[in-house]
A and B are shown apart, each in its own frame.
Chain A
């Protein structure tokens, strides 16, 4: 059975329905794209899964365990961690501290160790691990800089580094490449692949940039008005008339995706 499942999920805000009767199955090691027009409920989905909102109805099952209704921190502890659309960082922390805080779940060493300074060894390990992650995200040259002072691209990268640092098994990325130039985007895309391959993580990805989605996703789910419109391999999605109708408003897909490379 799937590593992660969403069954009959509904989320209403007062009157309006953000998500209705949504089912989703994600296999271990998969990169799953979640796409859809603005207001389709993608980010709401992330917020519900990560426990920011409680689902109105439905189940969220992870590794066979019901997870709906838990606090974000508990969900993170189970190994499901999300990033945010906004560049969510600890802006007045250094890059290093941002990652170290995120090591929190994995680091031991309670109050007394802290007070009597016997947590040195642990701290060392943590710093080693943190540096590894920072290096992986290509930020090592900035490790003592204030997150606030970083250029946008690096801030996005740091956002992911923070999520990685808590060592999730399922990583949920909310529009990781927004506002990046083509080079940065390419770099980020490769990183996401590497995360899956080298860190053995399953990835749930919300993204507007079709190139990225088509490029790295094994499977794509299309949302529209909170419902699942279609699901399948990138190519299938591209060929799906409903998707083209609803999502791309019937325009010439190929053109929109910038020619053959996308189709390929």
Chain B
């Protein structure tokens, strides 16, 4: 640690596993997007910028409210850590919301051709096909197969890259399937004008957008703004605490009634999910793909905590059965 690092922001997943003991020893404040990295023995790691798996737990609720008549819920995701853990939480939530889980398998990260995977899913005659935390590339290929193999139900996912799916599938199909995900667009009028979100997206585009000096040759992704959330949170905490000491910052954040994030005011939460209140938990937008604007539009903005408190016993039971509760993932 030559440079006296105070804050590291990373996507998380496997890299975190190797570095963690070291960073903890050195008391480095470490933010990861993916809350599955949060562990009681990693006191200085906060997460939740990526709203996973809370969004995956709220989508069953959202679809139940809108389509109470539907019953059959199929869910899949790649078989890595985040996939396994987040799918466990989603299945728990879906069952708590009264869905029948008809398909609950993981496809391999090695998958080259998704036709067989989708064939297997459709063989279970699902009303909803949920892609949980499936990576965007796979999401595109799976939705393409759902389209080609004639799926007629609802498609729901953690994150849908509308742009690339449109290359493979008519926008109308996505609209008809009520393609829902929880990564909103920040130019969505829903945020209101003026709003922090709109300012942020404008700024990002001038910095990294097409033709800009730091042109990254792509649209902003969830990953991009996730980092912002965590940095914002940390800065806020440092302000409240008036110090860079991680313990102070954490104390301050936990005490704060509400923490500003790009998705709205959040709180420090997660003891029942990760064994420590290190998950930043803002309210969760759910957006659907619309044909008119060929884009996602926010339909709902759900608060997580109260809902979770009311369902948690059942959900946690399922997660434990799947061996994905934090104390089982050592």
Chain A in direct contact with chain B (Cβ < 8 angstroms)? no
